[in-house]
């Protein structure tokens, strides 16, 4: 038997019971895949992160992510949560930790300030798939309860990814965003068809100068009908906005704040920064706050 330390962390917020909750096992050495899946199912967050000791000198450890039903390659909010929990557990100073993930070894920056922490996650390589054909686009819109008249004409419906792909769907107004009531069965069927399990609907309709976008993300194919605040949606959105020249930027850096989770009463804000070379996105980072909801232990 071994005692495993588990944190419940709310990411992209400083208020408990808001933002995006994630479980974190900070000392996961010895757990097998079936046990990790059981813990993730029991905690029933959209993702639970498991931190392992390094196997060599090339990293500070490895990290794996599980939804209640499946392992996923990478997860933004669970990374923020995991690094925050690690910083709390080991009373870390400001540092950069390199962790092996299913999408490669990534640097995660921990910033200590006034006794608390913020976390910056460097995401994986930005990739943008071709826009969907008319029929597939209509199927996606219909499953979400949208039609072409609702969409922002600047925003092609297509898959963007920094390691865990999402379909980008830009629409005109926030009221329509908050009224969405997707057909989850249709989205699950479409996910198999297009080989992408997440649908990120966003709008620039914001009455707050500090917030560029409001969004909602649906991923019923991996057991997440709606995710509160999604790093692997807002991050790729930054690259998508630059590549399509939808936003104005100066120099080689574009930064914005996106809000998500309002409709399901778990609001949170995520900061996205995009490094730009030759008018194209080359590096995407997300930054967020976090807070501990509870800490517990389990013997297995």
Query: Which active-site residues does the annotation give?
Result: 47
Name the token pair of 251: 């120099």
CA 235 – CA 232 distance, rounded (Å): 6
Cα 98 from chain centre? 18
Residue 13 backbone phi and psi in degrees, to 5: -165, 160
**218 CB burial (10 A radius; 0-12, 13-18, 19+):** buried
Residue 61 backbone phi and psi in degrees, to 5: 150, -175
Residue 140 backbone phi and psi in degrees, to 5: -65, -45
């Amino acid at each position: 038997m071994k005692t495993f330390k588990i944190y419940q962390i709310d990411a992209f917020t400083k208020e408990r019971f808001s933002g995006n909750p994630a479980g974190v096992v900070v000392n996961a050495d010895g757990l097998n895949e079936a046990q990790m899946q059981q813990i993730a199912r029991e905690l029933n967050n959209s993702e639970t992160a498991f931190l392992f000791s390094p196997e060599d000198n090339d990293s500070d450890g490895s990290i794996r992510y599980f939804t209640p039903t499946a392992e996923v390659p990478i997860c933004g909010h669970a990374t923020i949560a995991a690094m925050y929990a690690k910083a709390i557990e080991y009373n870390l100073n400001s540092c950069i930790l390199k962790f092996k993930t299913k999408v490669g070894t990534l640097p995660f920056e921990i910033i200590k300030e006034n006794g608390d922490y913020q976390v910056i996650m460097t995401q994986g390589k930005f990739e943008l798939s071709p826009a969907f054909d008319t029929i597939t686009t209509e199927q996606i819109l219909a499953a979400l309860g949208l039609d072409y008249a609702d969409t922002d004409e600047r925003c092609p419906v297509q898959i963007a990814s920094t390691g865990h792909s999402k379909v980008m769907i830009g629409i005109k107004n926030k009221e329509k965003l908050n009224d969405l009531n997707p057909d989850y069965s249709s989205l699950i069927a479409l996910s198999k068809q297009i080989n992408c399990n997440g649908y990120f609907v966003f709008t620039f309709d914001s009455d707050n100068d500090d917030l560029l976008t409001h969004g909602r993300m649906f991923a019923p194919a991996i057991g997440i009908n709606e995710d509160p605040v999604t790093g692997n949606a807002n991050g790729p959105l930054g690259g998508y906005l630059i590549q399509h020249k939808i936003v104005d930027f100066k120099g080689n850096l574009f930064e914005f704040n996106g809000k998500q989770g309002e409709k399901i009463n778990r609001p949170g804000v995520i900061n996205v920064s995009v490094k730009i070379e030759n008018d194209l996105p080359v590096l995407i980072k997300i930054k967020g706050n976090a807070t501990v909801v509870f800490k517990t232990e389990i013997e297995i």
